[in-house]
Amino acid sequence: MFVDSHTHLTRLEVSPEEAVEGAAEAGVIAVVNIGTDVEDSKRGAELAAVLPNVYSSAGIHPHNAGTYTASDLEALAELSESPGVVALGEVGLDYYRGDWSGEIQRALFEDVISLANDTRLPLIIHSRKAFPDTFAILARARVPVVLHCFEGGEPEAQEATERGYYVGLAGNVTYKNSKTAEVLHALDPERILVETDAPYLSPQAVRKETNEPKNVVHTARFVAERIGMDEEEFGTLTSRNARNVFGLPLEV
């Protein structure tokens, strides 16, 4: 059994219904859809309300930081009360693309952390080329933290472990040049999640294909081999981790 802890059902080439069905056939027992702006988050909440074993988050991606308003934060607060919404995010910092200034991104990030502290929902973090600032700002968080699509090396892995953060491993960890693949031993197994970030970052085994939630099994297989764990045992472990951080009603 597996849980895809981070996917974008509204952006796939197939319908959300087809994606969830295909994932279930592959042994994926739950999917967490991720919101990237208010409208996307609303759609995710709607999907979580009607699709079996689908949950969602409400967030504003740093790529959208420059357009957020106080009313958007109010909308996230309202969405946080929806039954299928289990986290806030993704939110964070992206200094790689630089669509918006660091100041604007940090303002949004701090606002959503404050909202998470109020709602007691976990945070799903996007951090690209921004670990020092990300870790500094996250010191204010009083809720569980998930570092989505973790791309850190040894220092970042150690700090994440020391802070008790959950680490989401996506298909890019299977790529030849992944430095994260070399430091998996530094991660706390009780804090590892597997994810697809579909339709992006297809695992190496299916890299020529557009990603879907079902492909989380390839990433799980890769990581399990690297850390010397049986694939089935690793699937149960990461599913339990997802249950714990997101409060999912799963029997694992």
- pLDDT tens, position by position, 212-232: 999 999 999 999 999 999 999
Taking each helix axis from N to C end, the angle separating 102-119 and 70-79, rounded to the nearest 10 degrees, works out to 30
What SS3 state is found at 216? Answer: helix
> What DSSP letter does each residue of 225-241 carry, written as one string?
HHTT--HHHHHHHHHHH
- The reported pTM is 0.97
125 found inside a domain: yes
Q: Which residue has the tokens 């056939």?
A: 25
pLDDT tens column, 185-216: 999 999 999 999 999 999 999 999 999 999 99
C-alpha dihedral over 212, 188, 80, 104, to 10 degrees? Answer: -90
- Per-residue confidence (pLDDT) for residue 201, from 0 to 100: 98
248 vs 69: CA distance, rounded Å: 30
29 vs 250: CA distance, rounded Å: 8
3-state secondary structure 109-143: HHHHHHHHHHHCCCEEEEEECCHHHHHHHHCCCCC
- Per-residue confidence (pLDDT) for residue 62, from 0 to 100: 97
148 found inside a domain: yes
76 found inside a domain: yes
- Per-residue confidence (pLDDT) for residue 88, from 0 to 100: 98
130 found inside a domain: yes
74 vs 206: CA distance, rounded Å: 40
- Per-residue confidence (pLDDT) for residue 252, from 0 to 100: 85
- Per-residue confidence (pLDDT) for residue 99, from 0 to 100: 87
Residue 147's domain spans which residues?
2-209+217-246
184 vs 168: CA distance, rounded Å: 12
Helix extents (H) in the chain: 16-25, 38-50, 70-79, 102-119, 131-138, 154-163, 216-226, 231-246
- Per-residue confidence (pLDDT) for residue 98, from 0 to 100: 77
Q: What CATH number should be reported for the domain holding residue 157?
A: 3.20.20.140
251 found inside a domain: no
In sequence order, what are the residues at sequence separation of 6 or more whose Cβ sits closer than 8 angstroms to the Cβ of residue 59? 34, 35, 36, 41, 76, 87, 88, 89, 90, 91, 112, 124
- Per-residue confidence (pLDDT) for residue 67, from 0 to 100: 92
205 found inside a domain: yes
13 vs 1: CA distance, rounded Å: 24
Number of domains in the chain: 1
232 found inside a domain: yes
The pairing of beta strand 123-128 with beta strand 145-147: parallel
Q: What are the per-10-residue average pLDDT scores of the chain (252 residues)?
A: 98 98 98 98 98 98 95 98 97 93 97 98 97 98 98 96 98 96 97 98 97 98 98 98 97 88
